[in-house]
A and B are shown apart, each in its own frame.
Chain A
């Protein structure tokens, strides 16, 4: 469903992604690991359409469409979702009103009827239960004054509401304790299906105990330097990333 070919991107003349190749099929879960600053969030942002980043080469195809040609909202409409590493605070806009607008705009994009108030409430209740999020949080200003964990849970809630085909989770586990990780993972697993795929970006292997990946990739210095099965994550947990640097230096 997603084919990334030799993707190169940067910001203000600085090269960050130096030729990424990655293919994700429906039903698969991929994990991207790698040390800080290696370009994981940049990859996620470029896929979601953040305009600060300039794509300097390569291509991305999503469900048969040229992803890089689409606006961020069209990408969401096509079924892409990014759970932000640093969710944005928006004073004066509640998560509920935000989601009411988002769900219906996405439905409009997909040629579906808008949900009325009752239908929306029903959907919201269902997803609230799924990710175990408090209603009070959803009536407050979006992410404003939320703890790190609350912000991440809100991202998972939004993902559940929008039912994406491909969910990209950027360090959704950071800031969460183990119970919260379990709940977040349950949210991800609940929307998993044969048609949908997930790309999990993480630092730690512990999230991968709950969201078990089919493939693990190591991103380092703007390139995927190693790919393997779920055992690669365990291996990294034991040895850390230092070996990579040695490997790279030799190479």
Chain B
């Protein structure tokens, strides 16, 4: 039986074993997946990312039981001792491994949240991303809505400690297909910071198809950092869908350093006036790593501001894709939307596809976009070398300085230093010369 049919069977089976409040959503999504299927390369949004090839191998489906002694702690982020830690193993939230320590932070299984005091929030927002991502990949995640979590931040609460999310796959015995699901609700005037990282135990191939939906209410603030540095057999589709339902602030930074096929869908739906959202990204790839960043900014109301800045360094036979959609609807007057994508190609076999897509239906707006693809600056290289800096170190310094303005957008010091170290180590291993920090 083909992998897709096994997956569908498993989803159908869930329909008989899980008689909870989410079952109607699952069934609808499965019907939708049946219809849409896995996007082929002729699908405009998946032109450069051959997602269908990931279904050519077999997987253990991640809703099955997991080893409770799994050493996920390997992937802990700096200052975890004081952080909230949410652990997903093979796509399923693992409450025993997780720690929720901040007052005002609520973490519940989605099935439970769907029927308690958060029921109306769940029914209103769960699945909203499907309106923007009308493809089988998004539907597939929803058809497996099991073991997901609801994360609530109570009104007027500044969550003191960061929320770390670990998405871990256990690939010691077999390939894993994991589909974590999260719904985050940041209530009015609340503030919270997330840092998410991904890891694998063992060396089997993985495919993680993740969906996170985030609702940001009036005067709420959220910072959201993603660090993708998994092994070369780990593929990931990571959808993060923000709904700014009130005047609010979102600051998102996506750092992609390794993986097999990585696709990020980052959506900012700005449904209220005076929203601000920042979207930054850095991808630094080599070998056959493929990183695709698809972003959508949807301006529905006036006076919003969005800043989008992605940078890429591509080596080996790696591929980078950047697609930035900006919609400005008729009522969204006086919005500002900036977008920029800059790339450095380090090898002749690396490639990058970059495409801005602006659809503007309001007349009094400020939008700008630009993209560049270039090589390492020869002038700069000579300038540095003329001061006695070896070619290797000069390259490291130049690439590091290229990445700096994205790194600076990672506001928590410990996390920024951690990412900086990952990048510096990479640069060091690359040029056989440790970059001096």
- Convert A81-120 into 0s and 1s, putting 1 for each residue whose CB lies closer than 8 angstroms to a CB of B: 1101001101111000111111011100100000000000
In the complex, the answer to whether B400 meets A162 with C-beta atoms within 8 Å is: no
A76-B388, A92-B404 known; A101-B382 Cβ under 8 A? no
Instruction: Give A40 to B377 CA distance when docked, in angstroms.
Output: 24
Whole-angstrom distance between the alpha carbons of A81 and B404 in the complex?
A: 28
Q: Which of B382, B388, B397, B401 contacts A51 (CB 8 A)?
A: B382
Contact of A77 with B by CB under 8 A: yes
Residue B390 at the chain A interface, CB threshold 8 Å? yes
Say yes or no: B405 contacts A92, CB within 8 Å: yes
B132 interface contact, C-beta 8 A: no
A10 within 8 A of B: no
The answer on a CB contact under 8 Å between A98 and B386 is no
> A92 to B401, Cβ gap below 8 A?
yes
Q: Given contacts A48-B386, A93-B397, A101-B397, is CB(A71)–CB(B405) below 8 Å? A: no
Please report the C-alpha to C-alpha distance between residue A73 and residue B392 in the assembled complex, in whole angstroms. 11
Establish whether residues B402 and A109, one from each chain, have CB atoms under 8 Å apart when the complex forms.
Answer: no
**Using a CB-CB cutoff of 8 Å, which residues 41-80 of chain A contact chain B?**
48-52, 71-73, 75-77
Bound CA–CA A55/B394 (angstroms): 24
What's the Cα separation between A57 and B166 when bound, in Å?
63
| Docked CA distance A141–B402 (Å) | 11
In the complex, which residues of chain B have a beta carbon less than 8 angstroms from the beta carbon of A105?
A: 388-390, 393
Residues of B within 8 A of A72 (CB): 382, 385-386
The answer to the question of A172 belonging to the interface, with a C-beta cut-off of 8 Å to chain B, is no
Asked whether A88 and B389 contact (CB < 8 A) given A93-B401, A98-B397, A101-B397, the answer is no
- Taken together as a complex, chains A and B put the C-alpha atoms of A132 and B404 apart, in Å, by 28
Q: B391 contacts the other chain (Cβ, under 8 Å)?
A: yes
Query: Which residue on chain A has the smallest CB distance to residue B406?
Result: A92
Interface contact B383-A88, CB-CB below 8 Å? yes
Interface size band for B: 20 to 34
Chain A 104-142 residues near chain B, CB threshold 8 A? 104-106, 109, 141
Asked if B401 and A90 sit within 8 Å, CB to CB, the answer is: yes
Q: When chains A and B are docked, how far (Å) is the Cα of A100 from the Cα of B436? A: 9
Q: Is B412 an interface residue (CB 8 A)?
A: no
Interface size class of A (residues with CB under 8 A): 20 to 34
Chain B residues with CB under 8 Å of A106's CB are 387-388
Do A84 and B401 touch (CB < 8 A)? no
Report if B403 contacts A (CB, 8 A).
yes
Asked whether, in the complex, the Cβ of B403 is within 8 Å of the Cβ of A92, the reply is yes
Cross-chain contact of B401 among A77, A91, A109 (Cβ < 8 A): A91
A-facing residues in B281-322 (Cβ within 8 Å): none
CA distance A52 to B381 in the complex (A): 12
Docked pose: A51 CA to B382 CA in angstroms: 8
Query: A71-B391, A73-B390, A73-B391 in contact; A92/B385 too (CB < 8 A)?
Result: no
| CB closest chain-B residue, reference A52 | B378
Q: Please give the distance in Å from A58's CB to the nearest CB on chain B.
A: 21
**A158 close to B (CB within 8 Å):** yes
- The answer to whether the Cβ of B204 comes within 8 Å of any Cβ in the partner chain is no
Tell me if B405 and A73 are in contact (CB < 8 A): no
| B346 proximal to A (CB < 8 A) | no
Nearest chain B CB to A59 CB, angstrom units: 21
Return chain B residues, CB-CB under 8 Å to A75: 386
Q: Check A90 against B390 for contact (C-beta < 8 Å).
A: no
| B432 touches A (CB below 8 Å) | no
Asked if A102 meets B388 with Cβ closer than 8 Å, knowing A92-B401, A92-B405, the reply is: yes
Question: In the complex, A82→B385 CA distance in Å?
Answer: 11
Which residue of chain B is the closest to A82 with respect to CB atoms?
A: B386
Shortest C-beta distance, A172 to chain B (Å), equals 15
> A102 contacts which of B389, B398, B405 (Cβ < 8 Å)?
B389
Measured CA separation A76–B400 after assembly (Å): 23
Q: How far is the CA of A76 from the CA of B402 in the complex (A)?
A: 25
Report if B61 contacts A (CB, 8 A).
no
Q: B379 on the interface (CB 8 Å rule)?
A: yes
Decide if B24 is an interface residue (CB 8 Å cutoff). Answer: no
* A105→B377 CA distance, assembly (Å): 21
Find out whether the CB atom of B385 lies under 8 angstroms from the CB atom of A88: no
Residues of A within 8 A of B365 (CB): none
Within 8 A of B (CB), among A220-251: none
How long is the Cα–Cα vector from A104 to B397 in the complex, in angstroms? 14
Residues of B within 8 A of A48 (CB): 382, 386
Select from chain A the residue with minimum beta-carbon distance to B401: A92
B384: chain A residues within 8 A (beta carbon): 90, 98, 102
How far does the alpha carbon of A98 sit from the alpha carbon of B377 in the complex, in Å?
A: 16
CB distance from A201 to the nearest CB of B (A): 15
Q: B78 contacts the other chain (Cβ, under 8 Å)?
A: no
Q: How far is the CA of A84 from the CA of B400 in the complex (A)?
A: 23
Known: A91-B401, A92-B404. A104 touches B436 (CB 8 A): yes
**Residues 378-437 of B at the A interface (beta carbon under 8 Å):** 378-380, 382-391, 393-394, 397-398, 400-405, 436
CB nearest to B404 among chain A residues: A92
Which A residues touch B393, using CB under 8 A?
A: 101, 105
A82 to B387, CA, bound (A): 8
- Cβ contact within 8 Å between B385 and A73: yes
Alpha-carbon distance A84/B380, docked complex (angstroms):
12
How distant is B386 from chain A, measured CB to nearest CB, in Å? 5
Cβ-defined partner of B385 (8 Å) among A71, A87, A91: A71
Query: Are B388 and A91 in contact (CB-based, < 8 A)?
Result: no
Instruction: For A104, list chain B residues within 8 Å (CB).
Output: 436
Scoring B residues 122 to 136 as 1 if CB is less than 8 Å from chain A, else 0, what string do you get?
000000000000000
A251 to chain B, nearest CB (A): 36
Distance (Å) between the CB of A84 and the closest chain B CB? 7
Q: What are 16 inter-chain pairs, A to B, with CB distance below 8 A? A: A50-B382, A76-B388, A81-B386, A88-B382, A90-B377, A91-B405, A92-B403, A93-B398, A93-B400, A98-B384, A101-B389, A101-B397, A102-B387, A158-B387, A162-B387, A162-B388
Q: What 4 additional pairs, Cβ within 8 angstroms, besides A91-B402, A91-B404, A104-B436?
A: A73-B390, A75-B386, A102-B388, A105-B393
Residues in chain A within 8 A of chain B (CB atoms): 48-52, 71-73, 75-77, 81-82, 84, 87-88, 90-93, 97-102, 104-106, 109, 141, 158, 162
The 5 closest A-B CB pairs, nearest first, are A92-B401, A76-B388, A92-B404, A106-B388, A93-B401
